[in-house]
């Protein structure tokens, strides 16, 4: 059981917008630690999608955006494409565990 809670799955049709939530607590996201997001395509290596809550690494399309408020964060994907079908993970730091933590992951299905 991860200290960062994500929905197990979300889905959307091509072109639609989906959001993936990441709910934490006062010892991680709520303690103002940054949230990062990763895309893990089938049979591929995890890829950094969003860092520092809202920033995109070079090469990541602006269809992907991150936000953070209070003890939660969200990843939004607009203009959904078939190749977006993947597992998505949020990640932060927890000061009661004193280490990095990942969310349980969310499987995105493009209908």
Partner 1 sequence: EVRLVESGGGLVQPGGSLRLSCAASGFTLRGYWMSWVRQAPGKGLEWVANIKEDGSEKNYVDSVKGRSTIARDNIKNSVYLQIINLRVEDTAIYYCARETQTAPGAFDIWGQGTLVTVSS
Check residue 85 for interaction with partner 1 (CB under 8 A).
no
CB of 101 to partner 1, least distance (A): 7
Give the dihedral sign, CA 5/7/12/16.
negative
> DSSP 3-state assignment of 110?
strand
Question: Is residue 64 within the footprint of partner 1 (CB under 8 A)?
Answer: no
Q: Is 46 in the site for partner 1 (CB under 8 A)?
A: yes
Closer by beta carbon to partner 1, 14 or else 52: 52
- Residue 61 interacts with partner 1 (CB under 8 A)? no
Gyration radius from the chain CA atoms? 13
By CB under 8 A, residue 102 contacts partner 1: yes
Check if the beta carbon of residue 64 is closer than 8 Å to that of residue 56.
Answer: yes
Q: Tell me the two tokens of residue 19.
A: 């959001």
Residues binding partner 1: what is the number (CB under 8 A)?
28
């Amino acid at each position: 059981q991860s200290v960062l809670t994500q929905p197990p799955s979300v889905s959307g049709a091509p072109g639609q917008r989906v959001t993936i939530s990441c709910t934490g607590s006062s010892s991680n996201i709520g303690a103002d630690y940054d949230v990062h997001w990763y895309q893990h395509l089938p049979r591929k290596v995890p890829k950094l999608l969003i860092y520092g809550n809202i920033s995109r690494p070079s090469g990541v399309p602006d269809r992907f955006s991150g936000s953070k408020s209070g003890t939660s964060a969200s990843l939004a994907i607009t203009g959904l494409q078939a190749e977006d079908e993947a597992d998505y993970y949020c990640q932060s730091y927890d000061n009661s565990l004193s280490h990095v933590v990942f969310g349980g992951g969310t499987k995105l299905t493009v209908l």
